[in-house]
Amino acid sequence: MTAYLFSPPAVQSLAIRGQTERFPINRLFFVGRNYHAHAVEMGKPVDKAVERPFYFTKAPQTLLESGATMPYPPETNNFHFEMEMVVAIGKPGFRVSQDQAHSIIYGYAAGLDMTRRDLQLVARDKGRPWDLGKDIEHGSVCTEIVPMPGQIIDSGTIALEVNGQTKQSSDVNKLIWNVREIIADLSLFYHLQAGDLIYTGTPEGVGAVVSGDKITGRVAQVAEISLNIGPAA
């Protein structure tokens, strides 16, 4: 046994629907600007003919299970929700072709890519990294993993409400880069591994929440998610 000076960080994990074993988390990848209407609302329209997808990552320690209360994070006055479909990778894959992309999928989940929008936009416009805007403690919210091995989801409602009022309502069929394309492209850069999650991007309608708000959302045929925004930590 390796002796550590102090206890190493716990392995992050999510429940798996219908199973007692949990899904251990390796890395958290996020696709930026992957619905046209959201790219436009952010002032950065996408031309798929000349652009490739881009990504950012968050630390696995930012993971928070659906149903929890997260403290309103520090150093923001514009804390946004982003409802996203999440792909859970179950097998290793490097330079995976679009045709074979399904073969490394374990399942799906519904996720929230919580964002300090004020800090993200400052970083974006100054050409700085997005970490302070995106890599937020408790800011990667996710439901249980729903096993759907080898399946590609290419359509279905994706929606979010704040305090019962609809804010986002779209369809996964509006992804600019679909699940096959994302896995093929991301696996050019990374040796994907079991336990990696890919948040596939958010549709239009993003907006701010404040302490006391309750977020609910869903990805049809996958899962329903909820998050309570607590007082500032």
Total count of residues recorded for the chain: 233
Task: Provide the minimum distance between the beta carbon of 220 and Mn ion in the complex, in angstroms, as a whole number.
Answer: 19
Of residues 82 and 135, the one with the C-beta less far from Mn ion: 82
**Total interface residues for Mn ion by CB under 5 A:** 3
Rounded CA separation 102/183 (Å): 9
Token pair for 60: 């696995």
Q: Which of residues 130-169 bind Mn ion (CB under 5 A)?
A: none
Task: Provide the minimum distance between the beta carbon of 134 and Mn ion in the complex, in angstroms, as a whole number.
Answer: 8
Beta partners for residue 71, in sequence order: 230
Pick the binder of Mn ion from 88, 106, 109, 113 (CB under 5 A): 113
Q: Find the DSSP H helices in 23-67.
A: 36-41
- The alpha carbon dihedral of 208, 210, 213, 216 has a sign of positive
Question: Do 82 and 115 touch, CB atoms closer than 8 A?
Answer: yes
The yes or no reply on residue 202 touching Mn ion (CB under 5 A) is yes
Of residues 23 and 56, the one with the C-beta less far from Mn ion: 56
- 61 to 90: interface string for Mn ion, x by CB under 5 A: ---------------------x--------
Of residues 23 and 199, the one with the C-beta less far from Mn ion: 199
Residues 6+ apart with CB under 8 A from 46: 33, 36, 39, 176
Choose the binding region for Mn ion from 33-41, 46-54, 68-76, 195-203 (rule: CB under 5 A).
195-203
Q: Which residues contact Mn ion (rule: CB under 5 A)?
A: 82, 113, 202
